[in-house]
Structure 1
Amino acid sequence: MSIVTMNFESQFLHSNHEISIILPDKPHHISAKEYYQNQKKYKVLWLLHGTFGDHSDWLRKTNIELYACEKDLIVVMPSALNSNYSNWSRCMLGFNMYDYLIDELMPMIYNWFPASEKRKDNFIAGLSMGGRGTIKFAVNYPEKFAAAAVLSAVPVDFNNLTEQDLQKDDPFYQRLRGMVDNAGGLEKFVHSNENVWNIINSLADSRKLPRLLFACGSKDKLIYENFTVFQEHAKKIGLDAEFWTLEGYGHEWRFWDLAIQHALEFFGLSDTGQSRF
């Protein structure tokens, strides 16, 4: 595959920003002129990293380049800091990651690269924090994605969240406090696009949602309990989603490398069967 590392000044992040893009390789039996002028538009996977990560995580810690090559797939990997893929308008000069992906990154990729913007050709996936970003984008912009894979993350019911909860000395709640402040307070947060639990409840019996996959390792101490809670809730509200568990795996890259392979199968992305040679 071809790897593009791109650095550019972002309007929404108010700073230089780096992304990685995997692009399909030219097969050896096709001439360069024929291949690069064929005007083909490729399917796109928007692939999100987790807390403490960046755009390079998936490239360095999984075989995503190999899997993308087999599927003839463009993969776009942005950097999100620890933003939870939310807007942080009062952070520095502003770091509006939620708006950035939809209103800046997507238009750039669709118009500067051979990427299809058709819903049926676009997929989104992410791990941990990236999984939370994935489901947030999937339910708030269902018209943009054919399917979504949420790895080691699930929606959490924020309807009973209290100010006392927000004082907990825990990285999850520390970031959550900032997100509540961003929304203008707890009540506004609960009724915002951040409360994916409520949005799924309202859309569960409709055909608007992308196809959804939730995946978790059975020994994931951070997520597995919430995973089972949401799985039961999904049954109650009639949410059509696949829940996939691997025994013996925790919150770890060994699991995510296997999970992204399952996600590509879930998306219906078949191998091209075409050798570069």
Structure 2
Amino acid sequence: MAFLQASIYSNVLEMEVSVNVILPQKTEKKIGTATKGNLTDVPVMYLLHGMGGNHSVWERRTSIERYVADLGLAVIMPSTDLGWYTDTRYDMKYWTFISEELPTICHELFPQLTTNRAKTFAVGLSMGGYGALKLGLAKPESFCAVASLSGAVNLADRMEDLLAVRGKDFWEGIFGPFEQVQGSNNDPMFLLDQLVKSGKTPPNIFLCCGEEDLLLYGNKKMASALTSNNIEHTFETGPGNHDWIFWDAWIQRVLAWLPVEK
């Protein structure tokens, strides 16, 4: 595998953005480091960080590079600050960046990446789990499968819980007034309803959350909504809290679930 650290300029955000990239590279087997090396139509996974993280956190807290070595899978890990994958009220368009501009830039810089929906995935944890599900529900034509690990996937129903993390000014700077979030494009439940009404083909969805995690309730409610709408999905829980012990273990489960050639 090749591990690249890049600084790209975002015209949408009007700033430099850091992105870490894992790319398949043909290598000979040496001390357990053999890797798959398809150099065209390479499957791609956008791997999103949570609050407090950045472009480097998946690489530092897990063995993601080793986990994907035999999958021939490219991994794009961008830094999105604390923007919640949303076009914020303070005029930082993180949603437009992650959903439109970043894929375009990545395909310009790495033309070996697939443009095939069937080989394009979004995965994230916590805030990034919200972002990955949002990508899948709002951009189903672009993503075949999305996975949320301990994601805040029902935040509009539990906005008061967010106040335990940051103050109201922070959240309203991102989403606007609390009472306006539910039923907006920042509400995954609303996006699910819009997707069903559109008749578009939904992505496969994977939700997981630790049994001791405060976000378990919201994940159960989202899983129930997916079931009610006959959306293909997997929902699993297991021992664990909102931490890297859980995420390092479950990213391996997600990779086994993704529809990439094993």
The answer for the alignment partner of 1:110 in structure 2 is 107
| Post-superposition offset of 1:15 | 1.3
Aligned letter for 2:127?
A: M
Q: Does the CA contact (< 8 Å) of 1:55 and 1:79 recur in 2?
A: yes
- Note the 1:220-239 alignment, pairs <5 A: 220=213, 222-239=214-231
Q: Does the CA contact (< 8 Å) of 1:24 and 1:73 recur in 2?
A: yes
| Post-superposition offset of 1:270 | 3.6
The answer for the alignment partner of 2:171 in structure 1 is 176
The answer for the alignment partner of 1:50 in structure 2 is 50
| Post-superposition offset of 1:229 | 2.8
Give me the CA root mean square deviation: 2.7
Once residues 245 and 156 of structure 2 are traced to their aligned partners in structure 1, the CA distance between those partners, rounded to angstroms, is 30
| Post-superposition offset of 1:88 | 2.5
| Post-superposition offset of 1:16 | 1.4
Once residues 126 and 164 of structure 2 are traced to their aligned partners in structure 1, the CA distance between those partners, rounded to angstroms, is 20
Once residues 258 and 54 of structure 2 are traced to their aligned partners in structure 1, the CA distance between those partners, rounded to angstroms, is 24
Tell me the matched-pair count.
254
Q: Report SS of the residue matched to 2:146.
A: strand
Q: Does the CA contact (< 8 Å) of 1:49 and 1:55 recur in 2?
A: yes
Question: Can you list the C-alpha shifts for 1:122-146, whole angstroms capped at 9, x where unaligned?
Answer: 0000000000011111111000001
Once residues 164 and 240 of structure 2 are traced to their aligned partners in structure 1, the CA distance between those partners, rounded to angstroms, is 27
Question: Can you list the C-alpha shifts for 1:102-151, whole angstroms capped at 9, x where unaligned?
Answer: 22210111122110111011000000000001111111100000100011
Q: Does the CA contact (< 8 Å) of 1:19 and 1:78 recur in 2?
A: yes
The answer for the alignment partner of 1:274 in structure 2 is none
Are positions 1:217 and 2:189 aligned together?
no
Q: Does the CA contact (< 8 Å) of 1:157 and 1:197 recur in 2?
A: no
Structure 1, unmatched stretches of 5+, are 30-34, 272-277
The answer for the alignment partner of 2:259 in structure 1 is 268
Instruction: Report the TM-score when normalising by structure 1.
Output: 0.82
Once residues 145 and 82 of structure 1 are traced to their aligned partners in structure 2, the CA distance between those partners, rounded to angstroms, is 23
* Structure of greater Rg: 1
Structure 2, unmatched stretches of 5+, are 30-35
Q: Calculate percent identity across the aligned residue pairs.
A: 27
Once residues 57 and 167 of structure 1 are traced to their aligned partners in structure 2, the CA distance between those partners, rounded to angstroms, is 22
The answer for the alignment partner of 1:208 in structure 2 is 201
Q: Report SS of the residue matched to 1:260.
A: helix
Shifted more, 152-161 versus 40-49: the winner is: 152-161
Q: Does the CA contact (< 8 Å) of 1:153 and 1:227 recur in 2?
A: yes
Question: Can you list the C-alpha shifts for 1:14-69, whole angstroms capped at 9, x where unaligned?
Answer: 2111100001122239xxxxx99x86120000000000100001001111101221
Q: Does the CA contact (< 8 Å) of 1:168 and 1:174 recur in 2?
A: no
Shifted more, 234-243 versus 168-177: the winner is: 168-177
Once residues 155 and 92 of structure 2 are traced to their aligned partners in structure 1, the CA distance between those partners, rounded to angstroms, is 25
Aligned letter for 1:245?
A: T
Once residues 53 and 18 of structure 2 are traced to their aligned partners in structure 1, the CA distance between those partners, rounded to angstroms, is 12
Once residues 159 and 224 of structure 1 are traced to their aligned partners in structure 2, the CA distance between those partners, rounded to angstroms, is 13
Once residues 194 and 8 of structure 2 are traced to their aligned partners in structure 1, the CA distance between those partners, rounded to angstroms, is 38
Shifted more, 199-208 versus 49-58: the winner is: 199-208
Aligned letter for 2:166?
A: P
Once residues 232 and 103 of structure 2 are traced to their aligned partners in structure 1, the CA distance between those partners, rounded to angstroms, is 27
Are positions 1:195 and 2:193 aligned together?
no
Q: 1:95 to 1:203 in 2, by over 3 A?
A: closer
Are positions 1:152 and 2:147 aligned together?
no
Once residues 216 and 163 of structure 2 are traced to their aligned partners in structure 1, the CA distance between those partners, rounded to angstroms, is 20
The answer for the alignment partner of 1:141 in structure 2 is 139
Once residues 243 and 41 of structure 2 are traced to their aligned partners in structure 1, the CA distance between those partners, rounded to angstroms, is 33
The answer for the alignment partner of 1:126 in structure 2 is 124
Q: Report SS of the residue matched to 1:53.
A: coil
Q: 1:8 to 1:45 in 2, by over 3 A?
A: same
Aligned letter for 2:191?
A: I
Question: Can you list the C-alpha shifts for 1:210-269, whole angstroms capped at 9, x where unaligned?
Answer: 00000111121x2112222333333333332110112x2111112111211111121122
Instruction: Report the TM-score when normalising by structure 2.
Output: 0.86
Q: 1:154 to 1:243 in 2, by over 3 A?
A: farther
